Amino acid sequence: MGYFLGLIVVLVALWTGLSGEYTLTKPLIATLGAISILLSGLLAYRFDILDREGSPYARLPQFLAYWAWLVVEIFKANWVVIKACLRSTLDINPALVKVKTGCESDLARTVFANSITLTPGTVSVEVEGNKILVHALYEDSAGPGAFDDMDRRSREACDGKAKS
Amino acid sequence: MTAILDLWAAFRPALGSALLLVGAVLAVIGTVGVLRFPDFYSRLHAASITDTAAATLALVGMALLAPSFAVVFKLAVVWLFLFLTGPTSSHALANAAHTAGLQPLIGRVGSENGGEG
């Protein structure tokens, strides 16, 4: 039920934001919005995707904190790749490394692997169990322990502080 | 307070245009990287500059130039979707190449074979 309510709240926010109708002065648009939101909620319920992956909004504050940290990391990593692109003599050191993750749930693993890909200079190639195959532009940027901080933060954002 | 708001109103279009320009330059840099890097996997890294930094700066620039809050909201949604779908498609590409058996170039690529390698 909580997941359903979370989904409805987010859909209402999305609808009002996208349509720009905050005042409900146009009954037709408001009615159409209510119908489509209820239909989406009903379909999500029928498809049985109303779980912590389909509606993860209860952890929104943690996700936002992680997101803010990740954006800073992305810009730092961008700088390295930009310099690699513009250097007059090409000087890269690609490597393929296996990263072990402490993330238990599928959601946390997805967030972790997506964060690796999102950060320029590293791409997650394959996920097998709790090991992620990562291709890195510079070998030392993917050395042992390079992803520990990101791993811990994505696990805490998705699964909470307690290590399960 | 009104003085600060006036200053912001005067400064906003310039800041938005500057951010758009920086975003465009970053997209060009990403393209240069795609052309210069030696193999498929390293080219993915160059393309991710365009995916992340260029898109973010361009969208922030557009948000500063936007006439109303509704447009800013839509740009924020676009940004969110870009950041969710971009890594998914990059991962799909890399995974497909890996599954197909494409071996990545490993080890230091120096100036000897740089660009052509």
Query: pLDDT over 90 for what percent of chain B?
Result: 43
Minimal C-alpha gap between A152 and chain B (Å): 20
Residues in chain A with pLDDT values less than 70? 161-164
Alpha-carbon distances, residue B97 vs A138, B33, B39 (angstroms): 20, 19, 11
Residue A29: what pLDDT? 84
What total of structural domains would you count in chain A? Answer: 2
Give residue limits of the domains in chain B.
12-99
Other Cβ atoms closer than 10 A to A7: 20
Q: Is residue A95 part of a domain?
A: yes
Please name the residues between 50 and 109 in chain B that touch chain A, using a CB distance below 8 Å.
51-53, 56, 68, 70, 73-74, 77, 83-84, 86-88, 90-91, 94-95, 98, 104-109
Q: Does A135 touch chain B (CB under 8 A)?
A: yes
Q: Which of residues 43 through 72 in chain A touch B, CB cutoff 8 A? A: 71
Per the CB < 8 Å rule, is B48 touching A20?
no
Please answer whether residues B32 and A85 qualify as being in contact, where contact means their C-beta atoms are separated by less than 8 angstroms: yes
Q: Does any domain span residue A51?
A: no
Amino acid symbol at A97: V
| Backbone Cα Rg of chain A | 20
Q: How confident is the model at residue B50 (pLDDT cuts 50, 70, 90)?
A: confident
Q: How close is the nearest chain A Cα to the Cα of B7, in Å?
A: 28
Q: Which residues on chain A are in Cβ contact (under 8 Å) with B49?
A: 78, 81-82, 85, 120
Is the same domain home to A136 and A64? Answer: yes
Full residue range of the structural domain in which residue A16 is found: 2-46
- What's the pLDDT score for residue B115? 45
Per-residue pLDDT, averaged over B84-100, amounts to 90
| Statement to judge: residues A40 and A71 lie in one domain | no
Which tokens belong to A162?
A: 């307690």
Which value does ipTM take for this structure?
0.82
Q: Quick one: tokens of A6?
A: 């979370």
Residue A76 sits in the same domain as residue A42: no
Q: Is residue A53 part of a domain?
A: no
> Same domain, yes or no, for A34 and A65?
no
